[in-house]
Amino acid sequence: MCGITGFIDYLSKSHSETLSKMTNTLIHRGPDNAGNIIINNQYQIGLGHRRLSIIDLSNCGSQPMSDETGNYLIVFNGEVYNFREIKTELQSLDFKFHSTSDTEVVLNAYKKWGMKAVDKFIGMFAFVIYDKRSNKIILCRDRTGVKPLYYALMPNLILFGSELKSLIAHPSFEKKIDFNSLGSFFRRGWIAAPYTIFESTYKVKPGYYLEINLNNRECIEHCYWDVHDYYKMDELTISFNEAREHVHELLKSACEYRMVADTDVGIFLSGGFDSSTVAAILQKNRTKRLNTFSIGFEEDQFNEAPYAKSVAAHLGTDHH
């Protein structure tokens, strides 16, 4: 988990200290490193990043990251699990890489295919790209909204970040309660995207990206993925055994993708169906014992630790 933040200030009144303050509100998301950059044109663009190092632990994976030409900059939160396959494709198209990070792959994929690149990504992500050539900024969120991305629209200022607290750190942000959202919170216990608790402040919706034209200040929302498209597809004419095998292969592929990291990977194991299935798929055919973790409770009705311990013993994981 990393943290991204920044601003577009059309009046150029923001300061580097403000960007640092916004970035540092996200230190709990990224304790390993921090990076900030401000670009001054007819306006100011600030990009901030707090890093939790998972892939490419070296400084080559630090952000904000730019391409060789300096025409494209990115701050990225999340993981694109199939980045190695995409990197191989880009290398066959003569793209050069200076790191082993998925961030550089995302940036070069955008450089090659534009926002069509997102169709290739398997993962969870939120990213902001500054495209100098087109003079626009892209705010993008993954298909199901695993990674958060907020933005605030003001007459001469746009703020964005992984959490609302990074937006609040900017002195021009006004904490005005949106009473429609407040009513929604009392009814549901949560506030549906794209709304937030504050006026003029929104979430980028899952499966969407926001395109901000810096020439005319136009903000256009694009949907690149909608689960309803899959609900409407024709049913597969396959047998139950074929469906079972297909689901098993999909689960194996999804679980193995999430083992891609330059650090140790652990599994939260409750002893229930979901986590036990994930642990079983990943431990099978591995000689190294996987690390599994569980948290117990003193109250018997809430305590799943004995079930987790039994599953871990059956699978042969290194249980904690």
Q: Percent of the chain beyond pLDDT 90?
A: 88
- Between 63 and 127, the more confident residue is 127
Where residue 95 sits, what CATH number does that domain have?
A: 3.60.20.10
Task: Indicate whether 130 pLDDT > 90.
Answer: yes
What are 317's two structure tokens? 């994981």
What is the structure's pLDDT at 190? 93
On whether both 146 and 293 belong to a single domain, the answer is: no
Q: Rounded mean pLDDT of the chain?
A: 94
On whether both 56 and 112 belong to a single domain, the answer is: yes
On whether both 182 and 250 belong to a single domain, the answer is: no
On whether both 291 and 201 belong to a single domain, the answer is: no
What is the structure's pLDDT at 260? 85
What is the structure's pLDDT at 199? 97
On whether both 268 and 144 belong to a single domain, the answer is: no
- Residue 48 · residue 19 · CB < 8 Å: yes
Last residue within a domain, chosen from 193, 211, 228: 228
On whether both 134 and 238 belong to a single domain, the answer is: no
Is pTM beyond 0.85? Reply is yes
On whether both 252 and 284 belong to a single domain, the answer is: yes
On whether both 284 and 314 belong to a single domain, the answer is: yes
What is the structure's pLDDT at 62? 87
How far is it, in rounded angstroms, from Cα 138 to Cα 79?
18
Confidence tier at 56 by pLDDT (50, 70, 90): low
What is the structure's pLDDT at 60? 80
SS3 helix, strand, coil % of the chain, rounded to 5? 30, 25, 40
Q: Percent of the chain beyond pLDDT 70?
A: 100
How far is it, in rounded angstroms, from Cα 126 to Cα 76?
6
Task: Indicate whether 288 pLDDT > 80.
Answer: yes
CB atoms within 10 A of CB 74: 25
Last residue within a domain, chosen from 199, 228, 257: 228
Q: Which residues are the active-site residues?
A: 2
- List pLDDT tens digits, range 201-248: 999 999 999 999 999 999 999 999 999 998 999 988 999 999 999 999
- List pLDDT tens digits, range 158-214: 999 999 999 999 999 999 999 999 999 999 999 999 999 999 999 999 999 999 999
What is the structure's pLDDT at 6? 98
Task: Indicate whether 122 pLDDT > 70.
Answer: yes
* Sign of the CA dihedral with 17 first, then 152, 41, and 209 last: positive
User: Which residues does 141 contact at the CB level (< 8 Å), separation at least 6?
Assistant: 125, 126, 147, 148, 149, 203, 204, 205, 206, 207, 208, 209
On whether both 221 and 110 belong to a single domain, the answer is: yes
What is the structure's pLDDT at 61? 81
Q: How many domains does the chain have?
A: 2
Domain that holds residue 42: 3-228
On whether both 25 and 125 belong to a single domain, the answer is: yes
Last residue within a domain, chosen from 228, 260, 289: 228
Confidence tier at 139 by pLDDT (50, 70, 90): very high
- Between 56 and 306, the more confident residue is 306
Query: What would you report as the CA-atom Rg of the chain, rounded to the nearest whole angstrom?
Result: 22
Confidence tier at 285 by pLDDT (50, 70, 90): confident
- Kindly state the average pLDDT of the residues 75-98: 96
What is the structure's pLDDT at 264? 85
Task: Please state whether the peptide bond connecting residue 31 to the residue before it is cis, i.e. omega within 30 degrees of 0.
Answer: no
Task: Indicate whether 107 pLDDT > 70.
Answer: yes
- Kindly state the average pLDDT of the residues 80-96: 96
Task: Indicate whether 55 pLDDT > 80.
Answer: no
Confidence tier at 263 by pLDDT (50, 70, 90): confident
